[in-house]
Structure formats: structure tokens, C-alpha cells
A and B are shown apart, each in its own frame.
Chain A
Amino acid sequence: TQLLEQSPQFLSIQEGENLTVYCNSSSVFSSLQWYRQEPGEGPVLLVTVVTGGEVKKLKRLTFQFGDARKDSSLHITAAQPGDTGLYLCAGRPYGQNFVFGPGTRLSVLP
């Protein structure tokens, strides 16, 4: 049983389109992180959110942590081929290590 669910599992879009991917759980987290992983590489941290309702922006990426600290979303504006990769969310239950979701595999076509 997955502690964290991510949707969609796969997403293929054209360059310039907007998209949102979701990370959901029935558990409460002290913090939540988003990573991007490219083929043959390890995940690279994009953002950490720690406050319920928090919104963080990183250039064309907007991250939101749910008010109840159980879910998060990642919105990408005007996607580019360089955004292609596996997007992983990782939630930290209180007092425990991070738990990773299964990921959303994004493909942005030129």
C-alpha cells in the first residue's frame, strides 16, 4: 500500500502547455518535498514546503502544500522540453524519514 499517491502516472504534452501534477495521502506530513529525476541520474530537490497552505514559486513552477498537510500540487506554466523527467513527491511523517511517491513521468514534446 502506497503512503503517497501521485497522479497522473504519465503525462505527455506539447511545449508551451500548462500542467498540474498531484501528490495525495491520507497521512499528515511535517513537510513535503518535490524532486525531478532525469534518466540515469539521481533525483534533484526542487522545493521543500513546511506550512499548511504554503505556496512557493520557482520560475515557471508553482508548488502548493494543502491546508491539512496531506497533499500537494506542482503546476508548470508554459512547459519546455527541458522539464521532461520523473517528478517525485516525498512526505515526511512527524518523527520519521521521508517517504517517496511513485512519481509522475512527464514528457514535453517540442
Chain B
Amino acid sequence: GAGVSQSPSNKVTEKGKDVELRCDPISGHTALYWYRQRLGQGLEFLIYFQGNSAPDKSGLPSDRFSAERTGESVSTLTIQRTQQEDSAVYLCASSLRGQGPGATNEKLFFGSGTQLSVL
């Protein structure tokens, strides 16, 4: 597709269940990011992939959160044993970043997000 695609668009789950969120970046984009956006707030960085490696995982809030990327394409964010405070929109972005950390003109393209509700 032409843009970043995320699925599902909405996910309702019960506390304690595991969830998987998927991101299909723009084809050829080397960098992929996951962010969390709580209601009415800004974006909270979770993890950054360059290719299939994750040089920056500093934003993952706990060991219940993990992410992987395969084929330098699709990424999956997994939340285990979900809790109510995990309720948020999870946004994925991709870019052509290829100049290492600090590429000043990097342009992020965002998907529409997955709205996660934990009951």
C-alpha cells in the first residue's frame, strides 16, 4: 500500500489477556517506530527499529511489552497480561532514515493507529 497500515484499528480485550498489534510500513522504509498516545496526550516513544534490529528499546514501559520486526518490513508489538493502564492508541511510523542517529531531516509517516481498550 501507499501508506503505513496498522491492524486491527480497534481492539477490545480483557485484563490479563495478551494482544498483538501489527504494523506494515511503507515499502523500502528502513526505520520503524512504535509510539503510545494516551487519551488527550502527546506521543510516548516505545521502540525504534533500523532494519530488523532494535537499537533503542528505552521506551518500552515494562517487560510485558515486546516488539519484533521481520524481513525489514512488518512489525508486531505484543503486550502480555494486559492491564487497564495499557489502554491507549498505539501508533506506528516508518521513515527512510539511513544516516544513523540524528538524521535531522528524517520524515516520519504515521499509520492511523490501533485503539486498544483493556476492560
Residues of A within 8 A of B (CB): 6, 30-31, 40-45, 48, 50, 88, 90, 92, 94-103, 105
User: Is B45 touching A97 in the complex (CB atoms < 8 A)?
Assistant: yes
B102 lies within 8 A of A42 (CB):
no
Is B20 interfacial (CB-CB < 8 Å)?
no
B residues engaging A (CB < 8 A)? Answer: 4, 33, 35, 40-45, 48, 56, 91, 93, 101-102, 104-113
Are B42 and A45 in contact, with the CB atoms below 8 A? no
User: Secondary structure of the B side of the interface?
Assistant: loop
B45 engages A42 (CB within 8 Å) = no
Report the minimum CB–CB distance from B10 to chain A (whole Å): 10
Whole-angstrom distance between the Cβ of B12 and the nearest chain A Cβ: 16
Bound Cα distance from A97 to B50, whole angstroms: 12
Taking the closest CB of chain A, its distance from the CB of B37, in whole angstroms, is 9
Q: Give A72 Cβ to nearest chain B Cβ, in Å.
A: 14
Report which of A45, A50, A99, A102 forms a contact with B41, defined as CB distance below 8 A: A102
Q: Which residue on chain B has the smallest CB distance to residue A45?
A: B107
- Separation in Å of the A38 CB from the closest CB of chain B? 10
Would A92 and B102 be within 8 Å (CB), given that A42-B93, A42-B112, A101-B42 are in contact? yes
| Residues from chain A with Cβ under 8 Å of B42 in the complex | 6, 88, 100-103
Indicate which residue in B35, B91, B102 contacts A30 across the interface (CB closer than 8 Å).
B102
A41-B112, A42-B91 given as contacts; is B101 within 8 A of A100 (CB)?
Answer: no
- Given the known inter-chain contacts A41-B112, A42-B111, A100-B35, please indicate yes or no for A95 contacting B104, CB distance below 8 A: no
Residues of chain B within 8 A (CB-CB) of A6 are 42
Within the assembled complex, what's the spacing in Å between the Cα atoms of A96 and B105?
13
Q: Could you say which of A31, A43, A97 contacts B48, with CB atoms under 8 Å apart?
A: A97
- Would you call B108 and A98 a contact (CB within 8 A)? yes
CA distance A90 to B93 in the complex (A): 14
